[in-house]
Amino acid sequence: MLTFIDFYADWCGPCQIMKPIFKEVEKQYAGKVSFKTVDVEADGALAAKYGVQSIPTFVIEKDGVEVARRLGSMPKETLTSWLESFV
């Protein structure tokens, strides 16, 4: 199963723009993709483990192995097209 991870912070403007888009995509892919959000302020160790240096950072994992990564905000259509290439 795929896991889609959103690394964000509450103070990050682009992260806040992506928040409702992330929620919509989460509903759209329910049962197909597992979604996880990671607040880099609250869980800096996990962000460091993934080498996150800027936010928002989106990571797609398949069976626990990272297969793709994107940085920055993007339109919903771009996000779903990217995700669809792995589903």
69 assigned to active site? no
Separation between Cα atoms, residue 11 and residue 4, nearest integer Å = 21
12 assigned to active site? yes
Separation between Cα atoms, residue 21 and residue 49, nearest integer Å = 25
- Which of 5, 12, 55, 83 is flagged as catalytic? 12
Separation between Cα atoms, residue 32 and residue 48, nearest integer Å = 27
- Which of 5, 6, 8, 15 is flagged as catalytic? 15
Residues annotated catalytic, as ranges: 12, 15
